[in-house]
Amino acid sequence: MTIAPDPEMSPAAGLPVELRGATAPTLMWAHEHEVEPAALNQLRNIAALPWVHGVRVMPDVHLGKGATVGSVVAMRQAVSPAAVGVDIGCGMHAVKTSLTVEDLPDDLGPLRSAIEAVIPTGFTAHDGSAPVLSTDRALSRTFDGLFARFGGLHAGVADREGRAAAQVGTLGGGNHFVELTADDHGDVWLMLHSGSRNIGKEIAERHINTAKGMEHNLGLPDRDLAVFLDGTPEMAAYLRDLYWAQEYAMLNREAMMVLFQRVVREAFPHTTFADAVRCHHNYVSQETYDGVDLVVTRKGAIFAGAGAMGLIPGSMGTGSYVVRGLGNTASFCSASHGAGRRMSRTAAKRHFTLDDLEAQTVGVECRKDAGVLDEIPGAYKDLEGVIAAQSDLVEVVARLTTLLCVKG
């Protein structure tokens, strides 16, 4: 099946385009010359899997482990854990506040310190479970219900329950962040990005290893793309664990947002908060396209169904976007999850200096040390170009400028 781009629906330089040499229909919201050759080869390997109905490629696409980051893979009666990623349920959470930039002090350093004091970052966790779970009744009920199912997860993570509980309400490292931002009207937003912490990673890796050893996966072009087949106990076990990890990731963000709001309200007592915008961008969903029931994996992509709210962050110096989905079924109702990296972490550390980091984060209250050099804005693709390339997938609701950024 070939889906021809609709010129009225794709105003950004003739996008989408079909990936040359792909076995299953593969539409790209990026031009081939903009994508690293290794990522293109990875996409062709994915499209060659016999269970694949179609692949959709977002403008933030880049090389990943097994499956490409910024890809949406729709499979018939099968699922590939690598097409979800190891940080199961990773995603975003944002809330608009009643504050405006005029309410904020010139020095946001004390506010950043207060956030860092209550939300552990990097490898740090809470001592026991997050204190917020004992003071927020709704969070406590969610936590209790979720962990009542822990014993049903993969036997290999049976001894990780205590650690998983301690990591609820913690940020982690890498590209995860907590940010104070402002829209073009001067209204202040709270935003954060994190996932399922170490427990999601362990669950994913254990199931990937199981899949690699299954006979139907032995002849694949890339063993990291090993799949589970519908109707098998292995697929049922993976989906059970995966859906748990997706809920865990959501709980993690909910807990951090409660802590973030408390810090802000302590500094600005009369602050109120609007309804939240939430979205996963490493997850599995069962959806129907072309009249076919499919297992859809989004790895570095968000759901962009008609009217669905989403968040597309840039980097620690470039801000983010709040968007609304347009329901473009040609993309499997998907959009990008961020700006996407244009160079690896190793390359970024080699290419940029701390002076570069200082220059590229002017006006942002954030770390400016060697520990976050690989997160420098210059290591990421141009956010404005990424948004423009998917104007047929989402409409912009708000452009957010970063004022304060906490990194792991």
E strand or H helix at 250: helix 233-267
Cis peptide leading into residue 16 (ω within 30°): yes
Using alpha carbons, select from 75, 70, 76 the residue that is nearest to residue 302: 70
Alpha-carbon distance of 338 to 380, in angstroms, equals: 9
Using alpha carbons, select from 174, 163, 243, 162 the residue that is nearest to residue 207: 243
- Nearest-5° angle of CA 282, CA 153, CA 129? 80
- CB atoms inside a 10 Å sphere around CB 145: 11
Residue 90 dihedral angles phi and psi, to the nearest 5°: -55, 140
Helices 197-212 and 233-267, axial angle in degrees (round to 10):
160
327, two tokens: 């329901």
**What is the chain's alpha carbon radius of gyration, rounded to the nearest angstrom?**
21
As a residue count, the chain comes to 408
E strand or H helix at 27: strand 26-28
Core vs surface per residue 258-277: b (16+ CB within 10 A) or e:
bbbbebbeebbeebebeeeb
Q: Residue 177 forms beta bridges with which residues? A: 193, 407
Catalytic residue flag (residue 207): no
19, two tokens: 């990936």
Select which of 185, 216, 337, 351 is catalytic: 337
Alpha-carbon distance of 162 to 259, in angstroms, equals: 21
- CB atoms inside a 10 Å sphere around CB 74: 26
Q: Which residues are CB-neighbours of 185 under 8 A, at least 6 positions away? A: none
Q: Among all residues, which ones are annotated catalytic?
A: 337
